A and B are shown apart, each in its own frame.
Chain A
Amino acid sequence: MTRYVMVMDQRSCIGCQSCSVACRTWNDLPMDIIYNPVVSEGVKGEWPNVHVNYTPLICMHCEKEPCTRCCPTGASKKDKDGTVWVDHKKCMGCKACVQACPYGARDSSEMAPRFERYAQKCTFCRDRREMTPGAKPYCVDTCHQKARIFGDLDDPESDVAKIIGSVQTFRLMEDYGTEPQIYYIPALGGQR
């Protein structure tokens, strides 16, 4: 089986938003759609003893995804490789999936033309992976810091499997029970 996951190395991330912009241009997204913002609370602490932490967000491609279950039209789908995507032709724009996602990973544009307002989300660059075998999502390729590592968790030789098997990682909001498939390597105290 293939199970695509992504590892976010917070030790390397510097919050440049290159991935967000790259994604917006590669996928030609409407202005108000951001699949993968890099969020941060900013620099915290008492000067000069300060720290900062950047969290790249993206669709978690959850194993128990709440979004496809609440989709009435069957537009939200999950592939065998674990990636979740939306078939725009079938989406009626009810935004139930948007509200069901604990990570804010889905959105529907308010600035797109009236009848093109379907749910949009990251697909781990389905188009790239279909076009070129072995291709990675564009945000992974574009990251100068190599803070995003993409691969098949079921392949023990993959980078992601090795990292997740050896380095301490965490996932966001595991208490929702969605089993998100984005793993974060923490930057302790914001430092390297």
Chain B
Amino acid sequence: MAEVDIHAPGVEVKKSCCYFCHQNCGVLAYVLDGTVIKVEGDPEHPTNQGGLCCRGNIALKHIDHPARINHALKRIGERGENKWEKIPWDQAITEIAEKLNQIKEESGAEAVATAGGTLRTEDWARRRFMNMFGSPNSFHNALLCWIPTFMVETAVCGWSPFETDLGDSRCVILWGYNPGASGMPGMRGYSDLQKGGLKLVVIDPRFSETASKADLWLPLRPGSDTALALAMVHTVIFEGLHNADFVSNWCVGWDELVEHMKQYSPEWAAPLTWLEPEQIRNAARMYAKSTPSNIQWGCTADQLGPTSGAGMHARMILRAICGNLDCPGGDLIPGPSFGYLTDEEIEANEWLPEEQKAKQIGSDKFKLTSWPGYQRIADTARETWGKAPTAEWMCEAHGPSVFKAILTGDPYQVRALIVSATNPVSSYGDSKMTLEALKKVEFLVTCDYWMTSAALYSDYVMPIAGALERPTIHTNYGVTDSVICSQRAIEPMYDRHTDYIFWRDLALATGAPADQWPWENEEEVFYYIIYPLGYPVENYDEFVEKYRFYYPPLHYYKYGEKGFCTPSRRVELKSSILEELGYPALPTYIGCAENEIDHPELAEEYPLVLTTGGGFMPYHHSEQFQIETVRYLYHDPYFTINPQTAAEMKIQDGDWCWIETRRGRIKQRANVEASVDPRVIFAQRGWWYPERGIGNGEEPFGCLESNVNVLTSVDDDHCDPLGGSWACRGLLCKVSKVSPSEIGVAPDTQFSIPGSAKEPGVSVLPKDSKLAFDPIPFDPKPSFEVPEGLVWDKGKRKAVQESTGFEYDADSGWLVDPESEVWYDLYSGYAFDPGENNLVDMASGKRYDLETREELASSGPAKGNARGGARKAVKESTDTATPDDAKGGE
């Protein structure tokens, strides 16, 4: 037992942070001679105030774990043979860059894709690399984690109102969110506020750690969150619980919403959610009557598959009509940062050509979270805020579609994949298909701490610096206005480098201009990011040591100045952006991917409902399974089954069981516990067995044996058509005990597209597979009568004069030149000159009276340059005035 003196001479205290989930709690690292000797929670950090969970406390076990990758590895054996040559970092970068450039030359930049993991990497740098390289195909598991919610909410109200102002709140709904196992600092906040009277409503099919502390708990059927949300909106509307002032002043589409929501009564939702109508009403009443109140987002929202989008929309509507937006105690709209630089500003999105954007895989199907939707939202945001949401995360290729493209060549062959900070086999849906894609892709590079099943099949494995070896800047995907900074405790050990260095080195090696990557390390670029805040510091470390975080002063009711940042400047209950993209403008229910009502024949074979994807202590996604200290406490995967169901199946606590869906089966041990409905099982995610080694080579590290993503589905019709989220929750499954003869059975590795254990191989190409619902052709009708001589442009939603391209302004009855913004008279075609307050014929230079249209005595500019001169004069003065202003002034 090492007793370490943290006050010994020479020990430095570094304000570092925990790097084992993306809460990034503050950590004090005690460093002696370049070695971290102890870590503990930083009592002054705003997130954790000294607390550290299982994950944070393992930092010293992680930093030099004997299974860590410490050198760049070049494959020398066959793929998957685990034979490597250790090579210098720079050599690896050069060789990777050569191969990428070759692929780019032969097949176009889009044949190179990158897969990412969680928020903790410097992924704006990855995007910067990809944009300059020219490929639109970077992606994350973002679609399972908040991004579709952000985009739907941003489409409806201009910027996702994700910051809960809990201090003044009276009621918070934790919707599919279990901070008790996945967000400990948050849980502490709720517990504290609850003692002061905050009401906690927990919506969770499982009696989770958080549900056990709830004031009201709704144990709904997994995957039926959307039906619940719709029924709650129904209750609020038809019991008159909404905030009428806010709705009439700040919302559009209310009447259509009322009409549309008639169908979604609590009685309608009861059989879908397995709740009593009265339970649903009570929850809605509690939320709507206890304003200001909040809905806290939970990962569930993005993991329901096809039903996700409508649920996000419905929750957004619930917040808006109850008047909880951007008010004290409500759901605050942070908007982008106006202090430090946002991620979007350093992503170099302008480098990516339009024709490359169009090649983004999945952007033809899942439009909201890829270039079509992002572009629309970003443009709208720029009009109001002047800044846009981050493109990395919010605008990505559809991960599963990229894996399918690798296997099928549809829509085109993806030849290279760079995997950074993720193991797609564990974290993406349909693991068997994903594993096959990793085995098949022509060129694979993995950046990781560990030898994962993805790394094993790689051509190069890059050693990545982890916790304590890197500084961290926390800006919540770059879409909030506050920042928390942490410093590097020690320089990276061995030949490890951070992912920022990887992308920078790779960018330079592939030929990106050096002046575009001036920052040699994170400290430099982070200083560049925070410099505009204006703190009197010389460098990033000094900022961390002296200030550490920046929270701008709270401004409520920001919409009062410019309105919400939507096309109509109002909360669009009926969303014009969704409508334009071909999605229902009002939340429209479709059932979850597999359910007993829509698929009764399936439910007969698979009678139980599977829910998964939920976080559990002490692991984070597929991380930390190597750390013996925590693994000792949680060494085997457990799925939870109700004692009643277990008794019927003669399953005892701790028995190994098969869990099987249409796509395959896995083994987990039974945790017989009354924390789930008798019809439901809850399976743990992320399991693999790094201690096992490569085994027979088919399924290295036991990566399929207990991996719950073997069971989940990424079929196009199981994905949310809006955001592309695939289905992790509410799937149908069956459970049986593993018989003694089956103990050694190797998992089935046969992949299938679409996912079906009975039909291995590709039976439907991605281009032939349908979405959960067909796109609704966007056919906007003019809200005014189109004057004679003009035509209705659907795309622009404007009446246009075909010969000139001028657009018709329906409010004033004038034509506007979109380029020069000069106003023209609809009938005569004369331009308006606010300088002289009259009309000009651009062709002749003659001037006419504004009211009578009669020619005025010649007083125009000199002949010869009449046209240009008039135009110039007109242009200069129209910057501030319109003909209507002029008329109004008369």
Query: Chain A: residues with CB nearer than 8 A to chain B?
Result: 12, 14-18, 20-22, 24-29, 31-32, 34, 42-48, 50-52, 88, 120, 127, 131-132, 138, 141-146, 190-192
Nearest neighbor of A34 in chain B, beta-carbon distance: B633
**CB contact under 8 A between A31 and B632, given known A25-B60, A138-B40, A141-B43:** yes
**Is B38 an interface position by the 8 A CB rule?**
yes
Contact present for B671 and A42 (CB under 8 Å) = yes
Considering the chains assembled together, what is the distance between the CA atoms of A12 and B676 in angstroms?
Answer: 22
Contact present for A18 and B57 (CB under 8 Å) = yes
For residue B188, which residues in chain A have a CB less than 8 angstroms away from its CB? Answer: 144-146
Contact present for A18 and B54 (CB under 8 Å) = yes
Considering the chains assembled together, what is the distance between the CA atoms of A171 and B632 in angstroms?
Answer: 28
Considering the chains assembled together, what is the distance between the CA atoms of A117 and B425 in angstroms?
Answer: 41
**Is B511 an interface position by the 8 A CB rule?**
no
Contact present for B54 and A21 (CB under 8 Å) = yes
Contact present for B48 and A144 (CB under 8 Å) = yes
Contact present for B675 and A21 (CB under 8 Å) = no
**CB contact under 8 A between A31 and B629, given known A42-B671, A127-B3:** yes
**CB contact under 8 A between A47 and B5, given known A14-B187, A18-B54:** no
**CB contact under 8 A between A142 and B52, given known A26-B38, A190-B212, A191-B213:** yes
**CB contact under 8 A between A17 and B617, given known A51-B212, A132-B7, A142-B52:** yes
Contact present for B53 and A52 (CB under 8 Å) = no
For residue A34, which residues in chain B have a CB less than 8 angstroms away from its CB? Answer: 633
Nearest neighbor of A141 in chain B, beta-carbon distance: B50
For residue B7, which residues in chain A have a CB less than 8 angstroms away from its CB? Answer: 131-132
**Is B618 an interface position by the 8 A CB rule?**
yes
For residue A190, which residues in chain B have a CB less than 8 angstroms away from its CB? Answer: 212
For residue B184, which residues in chain A have a CB less than 8 angstroms away from its CB? Answer: 16, 18, 144-145
**Is B181 an interface position by the 8 A CB rule?**
yes
For residue A51, which residues in chain B have a CB less than 8 angstroms away from its CB? Answer: 212
For residue B668, which residues in chain A have a CB less than 8 angstroms away from its CB? Answer: none
Query: Chain B: residues with CB nearer than 8 A to chain A?
Result: 1-3, 5-7, 38, 40-41, 43, 48, 50-54, 56-58, 60-61, 180-181, 184-185, 187-188, 191, 194, 207, 209-210, 212-213, 217, 219, 617-618, 628-630, 632-633, 642, 644, 671, 673-678
For residue B678, which residues in chain A have a CB less than 8 angstroms away from its CB? Answer: 47
Contact present for B212 and A26 (CB under 8 Å) = no
Contact present for A17 and B212 (CB under 8 Å) = no
Contact present for B1 and A29 (CB under 8 Å) = yes
Contact present for B53 and A16 (CB under 8 Å) = yes
Contact check: which of B50, B57, B213, B617 meets A25 at CB < 8 Å? B57
Contact present for A25 and B629 (CB under 8 Å) = yes
For residue B213, which residues in chain A have a CB less than 8 angstroms away from its CB? Answer: 14, 191-192
Contact present for A142 and B57 (CB under 8 Å) = yes
How far apart are B489's CB and chain A's nearest CB, in angstroms?
Answer: 16
Nearest neighbor of B617 in chain A, beta-carbon distance: A16
Contact present for B207 and A28 (CB under 8 Å) = no
How far apart are A32's CB and chain B's nearest CB, in angstroms?
Answer: 7
Considering the chains assembled together, what is the distance between the CA atoms of A89 and B111 in angstroms?
Answer: 65
Considering the chains assembled together, what is the distance between the CA atoms of A24 and B1 in angstroms?
Answer: 10
For residue A29, which residues in chain B have a CB less than 8 angstroms away from its CB? Answer: 1
Contact present for A47 and B677 (CB under 8 Å) = yes
**CB contact under 8 A between A50 and B207, given known A24-B629, A25-B58, A127-B3:** yes
Contact present for B207 and A17 (CB under 8 Å) = no
Contact check: which of B187, B633, B674 meets A43 at CB < 8 Å? B674
Between A and B, 23 residue pairs with Cβ closer than 8 Å are: A14-B187, A16-B54, A16-B184, A16-B209, A16-B617, A16-B618, A17-B54, A21-B53, A21-B58, A27-B1, A28-B2, A31-B629, A44-B674, A47-B642, A47-B644, A131-B5, A142-B41, A142-B50, A142-B51, A142-B52, A144-B51, A144-B52, A145-B187
Contact present for A52 and B212 (CB under 8 Å) = yes
Contact present for A42 and B675 (CB under 8 Å) = yes
Contact present for A191 and B212 (CB under 8 Å) = yes
Besides the known contacts A16-B618, A52-B675, 4 further A-B residue pairs in the complex with CB atoms under 8 A apart: A14-B210, A27-B1, A43-B207, A50-B675
Please list the 6 inter-chain residue pairs (A to B) with the smallest Cβ-Cβ separation, ordered nearest first: A144-B51, A43-B675, A144-B184, A21-B54, A14-B209, A18-B53
Nearest neighbor of B215 in chain A, beta-carbon distance: A192
Nearest neighbor of B634 in chain A, beta-carbon distance: A17
How far apart are A129's CB and chain B's nearest CB, in angstroms?
Answer: 12
Q: Which of B2, B212, B676: most chain A CB closer than 10 A?
A: B212
Nearest neighbor of A18 in chain B, beta-carbon distance: B53
Nearest neighbor of B58 in chain A, beta-carbon distance: A25
Nearest neighbor of A20 in chain B, beta-carbon distance: B633
Contact present for B41 and A17 (CB under 8 Å) = no
Contact present for A25 and B61 (CB under 8 Å) = yes
How far apart are B48's CB and chain A's nearest CB, in angstroms?
Answer: 7
For residue A142, which residues in chain B have a CB less than 8 angstroms away from its CB? Answer: 40-41, 50-53, 56-57
Considering the chains assembled together, what is the distance between the CA atoms of A144 and B217 in angstroms?
Answer: 23
Nearest neighbor of A21 in chain B, beta-carbon distance: B54
Nearest neighbor of B7 in chain A, beta-carbon distance: A131
Considering the chains assembled together, what is the distance between the CA atoms of A191 and B207 in angstroms?
Answer: 12
How far apart are A188's CB and chain B's nearest CB, in angstroms?
Answer: 12
Considering the chains assembled together, what is the distance between the CA atoms of A29 and B632 in angstroms?
Answer: 12
Contact present for B191 and A12 (CB under 8 Å) = yes
For residue B3, which residues in chain A have a CB less than 8 angstroms away from its CB? Answer: 127
For residue B51, which residues in chain A have a CB less than 8 angstroms away from its CB? Answer: 18, 141-146
Contact present for B191 and A145 (CB under 8 Å) = yes
For residue B618, which residues in chain A have a CB less than 8 angstroms away from its CB? Answer: 16-17, 21
For residue A25, which residues in chain B have a CB less than 8 angstroms away from its CB? Answer: 57-58, 60-61, 629
Considering the chains assembled together, what is the distance between the CA atoms of A29 and B60 in angstroms?
Answer: 13
Contact present for B642 and A18 (CB under 8 Å) = no
Considering the chains assembled together, what is the distance between the CA atoms of A72 and B436 in angstroms?
Answer: 63
For residue B673, which residues in chain A have a CB less than 8 angstroms away from its CB? Answer: 42-43
Considering the chains assembled together, what is the distance between the CA atoms of A131 and B182 in angstroms?
Answer: 33
For residue B209, which residues in chain A have a CB less than 8 angstroms away from its CB? Answer: 14-16
Considering the chains assembled together, what is the distance between the CA atoms of A44 and B207 in angstroms?
Answer: 10
How far apart are A136's CB and chain B's nearest CB, in angstroms?
Answer: 10
Contact check: which of A15, A21, A120 meets B57 at CB < 8 Å? A21
How far apart are A145's CB and chain B's nearest CB, in angstroms?
Answer: 6
For residue B628, which residues in chain A have a CB less than 8 angstroms away from its CB? Answer: 31
Contact present for A52 and B54 (CB under 8 Å) = no
Considering the chains assembled together, what is the distance between the CA atoms of A107 and B188 in angstroms?
Answer: 32
Considering the chains assembled together, what is the distance between the CA atoms of A99 and B225 in angstroms?
Answer: 52
Nearest neighbor of B181 in chain A, beta-carbon distance: A16
How far apart are B166's CB and chain A's nearest CB, in angstroms?
Answer: 16
How far apart are B681's CB and chain A's nearest CB, in angstroms?
Answer: 13
Nearest neighbor of A23 in chain B, beta-carbon distance: B57
Contact present for B674 and A192 (CB under 8 Å) = no
Contact present for A48 and B677 (CB under 8 Å) = yes
Considering the chains assembled together, what is the distance between the CA atoms of A25 and B624 in angstroms?
Answer: 14
Nearest neighbor of A30 in chain B, beta-carbon distance: B1
Nearest neighbor of B194 in chain A, beta-carbon distance: A192
Nearest neighbor of B643 in chain A, beta-carbon distance: A47
Considering the chains assembled together, what is the distance between the CA atoms of A45 and B628 in angstroms?
Answer: 34
How far apart are A89's CB and chain B's nearest CB, in angstroms?
Answer: 12
How far apart are A108's CB and chain B's nearest CB, in angstroms?
Answer: 13
Considering the chains assembled together, what is the distance between the CA atoms of A18 and B673 in angstroms?
Answer: 22
For residue B1, which residues in chain A have a CB less than 8 angstroms away from its CB? Answer: 27-29, 88, 120
Contact present for B674 and A131 (CB under 8 Å) = no
How far apart are A50's CB and chain B's nearest CB, in angstroms?
Answer: 5
How far apart are A30's CB and chain B's nearest CB, in angstroms?
Answer: 9
For residue B630, which residues in chain A have a CB less than 8 angstroms away from its CB? Answer: 21
Considering the chains assembled together, what is the distance between the CA atoms of A34 and B634 in angstroms?
Answer: 13
For residue A26, which residues in chain B have a CB less than 8 angstroms away from its CB? Answer: 38, 40, 57
